[in-house]
A and B are shown apart, each in its own frame.
Chain A
Amino acid sequence: MRTVIEMKNIVKNYHVGDVVVHALRGVDLNIKEGEFVAIMGASGSGKSTLMNILGCLDTATNGDYFLDELNVNSLNKDQYADIRNQKIGFVFQGFNLLPRTTALENVELPLLYDRKERIKNPREQAIKALQSVGLKERLDHVPNQLSGGQQQRVAVARALVNNPAIILADEPTGNLDTRTSVDVMSVFQRLNKEGKTIIVVTHEPDIAQFAKRNIKLRDGKIIEDVQIAVPQKADEILAALIGDEDEVV
């Protein structure tokens, strides 16, 4: 399998007034295509910083980062924007959908910012992405007409729509109840089965159980990196939670 992410000795320092905060103190990380990784750690462990650097929202102070075999260290602001547009799909804790904008338009948005217009028919592609997260019937709903779980599915569809190298989810279940959380994780598991590389940042061990690999951070360093032989199957847990209710989340 191809290596999608390769990080070598990534260091990130923040200056808060005169004090230097060492958020990351040398992180080495390799993630291959098709992996499902959960990055865990308490608050202050540096996982958000790592997430921002992985997502090209922030640059490392030191170290090399190759995304999809491309060295992203030496890129300018516009190139960073293009990488976020083409290589990365974001899913956030707070969903971060545009308000008063339909699900379809939200999902379409990354394609509209693509300068090279690789995808000729953005509307069709957006409908396909929404279909794949099971929201075919809600194309014209605006975010406040959707439940939390549905909003997060729209966000996942938006992350998928441009066929990114990685899907990066930052606490994707943080605002959701248990059942909906499991539901969203089942979407991720299914996408992973289809070959998508997924990285989830979470502080909940329950959620990490659905991933195939768990990485633990503490004080800006990786302290644990384990493969999980048999991850929990979200579908089965969900089925058990719902029983035979016919309600669709």
Chain B
Amino acid sequence: MKWYRILKISFKSILKNKMRSALTSLGIIIGVCSVIVMIAVGQGSSVRITEQINSLGTNLLMVRPGGSRMGGVHRGEGSFNKMKLSDCDAITKEAEHVKYVSPVIQASAQIIGGESNWNTTVYGVSTQYPDIKDWELSSGTFFTEKDIKAKKKIAVLGQTIVDELFPDTDPVGQRIRIRNTPFTVIGVLEEKGESGMGMDQDDVILAPSTTVLYRLKGGDFIDMIYVSANSTDDMDAAQAEIETIIRKEHKIENSEDDDFHVNSQSEITEMASETSETLTLLLGAIAGVSLLVGGIGIMNIMLVSVTERTREIGIRLSIGARSKDVLTQFLTESITLSLIGGIIGILLAVIITSVMNKFTSIITVISPGIVVLSVVFAAAVGIFFGYYPARKAANLNPIDALRYE
């Protein structure tokens, strides 16, 4: 028998019992829908975490001063800071796997300017800092190497500072006072929003590293070095290079421990994505149980249907249907039921996730792979749970089936 005729028979018998078919499909609809929604929630959270980590900077390595040991006593991290601007220069000059380098010197300061005042952190950085953080300017310009050499008193403001001090006027060209030292605003950073930890990344002022180090803070030591590796694959090589260079700069003997730490962003990313993958798997598995229950529902209905239609099967067998024809007919019916359920389930999942995206803070991401997988899975449920009833129908003895009342 031709496939479209078998399909027609299946549709006919599905439509014959509309209510029953609808309820049977409902099991699959709920199953498929919950699997997709759960996985979309899991993937959404993993995408969000990755985005937040990436917003720290691209291929970022952070060099921090390490703890020290004096007379056998460990001190806390940063207790013995020997990092200087010269370390940055050495990395820039010698490291091959490194693209951008910037020192970070932090200074908390009271800012007076425009119509108000504000307390924030001033970061002394190099010209490459915006590249490391992948941060554009919304207006004005960034400072140059020349400005750094000259220790110029110029600043680039984050959006929060602009909102606080210059709500109505263009801040570029205006003067502000940082710890009573006058600075000229030369640019404004693009808005970046909250960080993963809920911190306002725009509450920041950037100034030349030398200016902050020598005019605001005093001393020779810097707080951190931000390094951007050439590519994600180069991160490990870059990390090793930096360690060697700084050990040499700090004249650390082979037997001695590092007096600094290099943290790579990929470590954080890996850990976070591992957590969210576990979460996704768990959610998916819980939802998968409901899909299984839906499949059992299909099997139940198909078994009832086979018993109910024993006579029909007998007729078909007596006029020349082979067992395989009957098997195909019932299998097609259960697959059709589960596929219809699967497709409606997907549509429902799309609606639910877009409602969630719009009206709740939960971010969901439906990947095409999951949609394809769930369609395949729904069909597989149809085959798996439809096979036993279909085989039961196909193996009926025509004489008994014809006599069945």
Contacts and interface: CB of A to CB of B under 8 A. Distances in A.
A55 B316 CA distance: 14
Interface in A146-165: 158, 162
Interface string B345-379: 00000000000000000000000000000000000
Contacts of A112: 1-2, 5
Interface residues of A, number: 25
A97 B318 CA distance: 12
Contacts of A55: 318
A86 B399 CA distance: 18
Contacts of A100: 16
A114 B325 CA distance: 11
Contacts of A96: 311, 314-315, 318, 402
B318 A82 contact: no
Interface string A78-106: 10011011100010100011111000000
A78 B326 CA distance: 12
A90 B312 CA distance: 14
B319 A110 contact: yes
Given A100-B16, A112-B1, A158 B319 contact: yes
B398 interface: yes
B322 A82 contact: yes
Contacts of B2: 112
Contacts of A158: 319
Contacts of B402: 92, 96
A57 B320 contact: no
A57 B319 contact: no
Nearest to A159: B319
B238 interface: no
B398 A114 contact: no
Contacts, number: 56
A109 interface: yes
A82 B320 contact: yes
A85 B315 contact: no
Nearest to B315: A96
B317 A81 contact: yes
Given A92-B402, A96-B311, A113 B323 contact: no
A58 B399 contact: yes
A109 B319 contact: yes
Contacts of B90: none
The 6 closest A-B pairs by CB, nearest first: A85-B320, A81-B322, A110-B319, A113-B320, A84-B320, A113-B321
Given A86-B320, A90-B318, 20 more contacts: A57-B318, A57-B399, A81-B317, A81-B320, A81-B321, A84-B319, A90-B319, A96-B311, A96-B315, A96-B402, A98-B312, A99-B312, A109-B319, A110-B320, A112-B5, A113-B1, A113-B319, A113-B321, A113-B322, A158-B319
